[in-house]
Chain A
Amino acid sequence: MKPLFVMKKAIVSLVALLFSVISLGAFANDAVWFGNKNATRILHINSTMDLASFEPILNEFVALYPNIRLAYRDVSTQDLYFLVMERQKEPVASLAISSAMDLHLKLVNDGYAQTYQSEATTLLPDNFKWRDQLFAFSLEPVVMLVNKKAFPGVLPEDRQSLLQTIRQHGKEMTRRIGTYDIRQSGVGYLLASQDARQADATWGRLLEAFGNHDIQTYCCTHEIIDDIASGKLAVGYNLLGSYASQRAQEDDRLKMILPKDYTLMLMRTAFIPNNAPNARDAGLFLDFLLSDTAQQMMQTQDLLFPIQPDVNNLNNLYVVSAPGPTGVIELDQQLLVGRDFAKQKRFIRNWEAALEIKEE
């Protein structure tokens, strides 16, 4: 009975920790408001998306619907997950947007979402929605971002060449690789677990190399990118394509690489929670995200990768042109496996062990 007791205690402390993070994170982060102050209808959105990538779309929406005012809160993927569960009875936000597909799918599976059907959602292909409750509006590649000046040797094409560089230039690469802390970042965990699923051996070797070279772990994408831009890091692994390409366009030193062996494709998804105070306008916003207007804006204004890239014929970075095969993370029940309690615990433990990070 002893190990059980210890384990339970561990769970409790983990949950308590996460809840404290929520209260700090969610309420410290004040909402950003969009639209007319006198607007009668208010729509609260909780999202994991950086405002920079979303602001033009939000502005366009309130321009289109002047009587709706938007309150936008930027939350981390894991905070968002616990926030939805905690505020199940009376949620503040009527729309939850996340890049952690697995957490979102688990919330829907566990009955936290309500069904929404409209012309736009009906047109959405089946593999981009689940149960008419969870909808994907963006499909982006998971990439590596390198600082061309700081990176020793040839720029990597894929995971194998990255491994080779790490081995050849061990010293230069030490403490200069950055990736997500899978314990803090929901999307980081998702990407790591998908890597392990796609190519278990490669993932093991990568993890070993990362551990040997003191990989730096981060909670959030933009911090990794900042450090790459400053030259503190030579390379960032498993970054979200939309943020990486945005910065790579602004900054010549940065180069976004879609791994040639396989490129994971991640969906950004949204759902309307049960008991949402303003489900009607949340639906309107969802329709807008799926509309040609918003999908085109994502491409033309370098914001996101649209879910339906063929809405216009632009040929820029925001049309995915992966050099190798793409592994689209499927939006279905399989995502639950990655979030299985036992599997998650073991995966994180292995990850910690490999990266020689002390258990928190």
Chain B
Amino acid sequence: MWPKSLHHQNLSEEEITALNKAPSLRFRFILAGVLVISIIAALAVNLVFDYSRKLADLSYDRLLRSALLQMDENVGLIRNEVSIDIPWSAFATLAQADEDRVFYKVESLEQGYITGYEDLHSLPPNPPVLNQIQFYNQEYSGEMVRFAWLERHLTDPEGAQTVRIILGHTRLSREEMASSVTRRAVEVVVLIALVAIALIAIGSHLVLRPLHRIERALEDRAMGDLTPIDINTPKETHHLKVAINHFMVRLQTNLEQLENYTADAAHQLRTPLASLRALAENARDNTSPERQHEALENIVKQCDALGQTVTLLLNQAVVSHRLQTQRLEPVNLLEPITASCREQAVTALHQGVLLSLDCTIKTALVLGDSFAIQQMMQNLIENAVRYSGADMEHASEIIVQVQEFDEFYRINVIDYGVGIPDVEKERVFERFYRGRYDMAGSGVGLAMVKDIVDHHSARILISDTEPKGTTFQVDFAKFRMGSRSV
């Protein structure tokens, strides 16, 4: 059984320190929320503070205005002398601001002081306009006082005077009203802010819950389980889920490749080892020194072959690693081709095969991996050499052609060997398929060629050479800036 993976409780110490150091999404979310809400709340309180003062002034100014008008109504001019009889009701109005001290003065510009507080010298901040009441704050008798100020003309047949009425009361009731309004508003604002913060805290928990669910789903899996996650998640986390699933598919592919490779390797090493063992037994059992010597000679040959196979496997491992890790980049196709031709020419000649490169173009830029292309060429040439030299008494020839077309470069590897029957053409790229078991070869080389071709999005085609033999034709798309497809 696969051991179950571990949960938070069983995190290693390093993981715990990393967890503690890691910035918390939820904390940031709440912090930002609290900040924004605090700013809004502060603004609101500030606004309410201003507003409540204005509101208090507005409502108490009405009292003041009413009292002033009642006083004004009782101002008269008799024989060019101003008289005033302040009505009781005027001050009954003011008594609604129950704790506020009242100050007033009635004077005429012509006659001077008439009644009230003689030392009350007060001028409104704005230039006085007749018949227009002005309200303003001014200190008097040691306290801030709200004044209403009115000037108007009085006329009678014997003369005219300008009378000025100043009436004020202290701001106690106003401040009390303003602060009670403010207090109420602040209470409400603070309540709303607290509720909002609580909602953010709860909301952040809810929002992050699908993530925790995905996390748990992954944690709870058996070790080798790479099947897609199929829990229901909201839209916002769907992409994450899909990404994880894609990642797992890739992981699965890699694992499969690794398994295949391991199987390849085992397979390829087993046959030579078995043959080595047979040769060695042969050598042991033979009494004649000549036969023994011959057997030992065979063992040495077999070891060389094994060495080649191991190299091939290593190359294949490198190529498959590169294909998975290296990004494709623009390379000159001719370089790996030339290099592999140069490398193979001598070996081919030993086998009685003449290798020639037929190429007229100078550069051929494609998007690819130079090492992988070289491996591909090597395998194709080796393959051609192997089939060329098999039955021939005389030296044969292999031609490597590079041609340029509008959209692609074509590489032809042409041999005049035994050729491949049409039935087999389909299968040569299968792993471990060997057309002829009487010939050396791993059965892996062409499979690797196919992998590399596929990885480069290239095409490979097998055709017969006239009059006999095989032609491998590989087409690479030209590299163009800004476009990657054929």
Known contacts A333-B91, A337-B91, A343-B85; is A111 also within 8 Å of B115 by CB?
no
Q: How many A-B residue pairs lie within 8 Å, measured between CB atoms?
A: 58
Distance (whole angstroms) from the CB of B429 to the closest CB of chain A: 104
Establish whether residues B91 and A334, one from each chain, have CB atoms under 8 Å apart when the complex forms: yes
Q: Is B86 an interface residue (CB 8 A)?
A: yes
Q: Is B142 an interface residue (CB 8 A)?
A: yes
Distance (whole angstroms) from the CB of A247 to the closest CB of chain B: 33
Establish whether residues A342 and B102, one from each chain, have CB atoms under 8 Å apart when the complex forms: no
Q: Which of B85, B91, B100, B143 contacts A342 (CB 8 A)?
A: B85
**Contact pattern, B 87-123, Cβ under 8 Å of A = 1, otherwise 0:** 1101110110011111100100001101110000000
Establish whether residues A332 and B83, one from each chain, have CB atoms under 8 Å apart when the complex forms: no
Establish whether residues A342 and B83, one from each chain, have CB atoms under 8 Å apart when the complex forms: yes
**Bound complex: CA of A4 vs CA of B109, how far in Å?**
13
Q: Is B81 an interface residue (CB 8 A)?
A: yes
Number of residues of chain A lying within 8 A (CB) of chain B:
22
Closest to A131 in B: B99
Establish whether residues A4 and B111, one from each chain, have CB atoms under 8 Å apart when the complex forms: yes
Q: List 20 A-B contacts (CB under 8 A).
A: A109-B102, A110-B101, A110-B141, A111-B101, A111-B141, A126-B98, A130-B99, A197-B88, A332-B95, A332-B98, A333-B94, A333-B101, A333-B169, A334-B88, A336-B102, A342-B83, A342-B85, A342-B106, A342-B114, A346-B83
Q: Is A340 an interface residue (CB 8 A)?
A: yes
B contacts, CB < 8 Å to A: 81, 83-88, 90-92, 94-95, 98-103, 106, 111-112, 114-116, 141-143, 169
Q: Collect the chain A residues with CB atoms within 8 Å of residue B100's CB.
A: 333
Q: Which of B84, B91, B99, B111 contacts A336 (CB 8 A)?
A: B91
Establish whether residues A334 and B86, one from each chain, have CB atoms under 8 Å apart when the complex forms: no
User: Which residue of A130, A333, A340 has the most chain B CB atoms within 10 A of its CB atom?
Assistant: A333
Distance (whole angstroms) from the CB of A66 to the closest CB of chain B: 37
Main secondary structure, interface of A, reads helix
**Bound complex: CA of A110 vs CA of B118, how far in Å?**
12
Q: Collect the chain B residues with CB atoms within 8 Å of residue A126's CB.
A: 98
Closest to A345 in B: B115
Q: Is A330 an interface residue (CB 8 A)?
A: yes
Distance (whole angstroms) from the CB of B430 to the closest CB of chain A: 105
Distance (whole angstroms) from the CB of B148 to the closest CB of chain A: 15
Establish whether residues B115 and A341, one from each chain, have CB atoms under 8 Å apart when the complex forms: yes
A contacts, CB < 8 Å to B: 3-4, 108-111, 126, 130-132, 197, 330, 332-334, 336-337, 340-343, 346
Establish whether residues B87 and A340, one from each chain, have CB atoms under 8 Å apart when the complex forms: no
Known contacts A332-B95, A333-B91; is A340 also within 8 Å of B116 by CB?
yes
Establish whether residues A343 and B95, one from each chain, have CB atoms under 8 Å apart when the complex forms: no
Q: Collect the chain A residues with CB atoms within 8 Å of residue B87's CB.
A: 337
**Bound complex: CA of A111 vs CA of B84, how far in Å?**
25
Establish whether residues B99 and A343, one from each chain, have CB atoms under 8 Å apart when the complex forms: no
**Bound complex: CA of A125 vs CA of B141, how far in Å?**
27
Distance (whole angstroms) from the CB of B357 to the closest CB of chain A: 114
Top-10 shortest CB links A-B: A342-B115, A332-B95, A341-B115, A334-B91, A333-B95, A109-B101, A333-B102, A337-B91, A111-B141, A131-B99
Closest to B140 in A: A111
Q: Collect the chain A residues with CB atoms within 8 Å of residue B141's CB.
A: 110-111
Distance (whole angstroms) from the CB of A350 to the closest CB of chain B: 11
Closest to B115 in A: A342
Q: Which of A4, A334, A341 contacts B95 (CB 8 A)?
A: A334
Establish whether residues A3 and B81, one from each chain, have CB atoms under 8 Å apart when the complex forms: yes
Known pairs A108-B101, A111-B141, A337-B86. 20 more at Cβ < 8 A? A4-B111, A109-B101, A109-B103, A111-B101, A111-B142, A111-B143, A130-B98, A330-B95, A332-B98, A334-B88, A334-B91, A334-B95, A337-B91, A340-B115, A341-B116, A342-B83, A342-B84, A342-B85, A342-B106, A343-B86
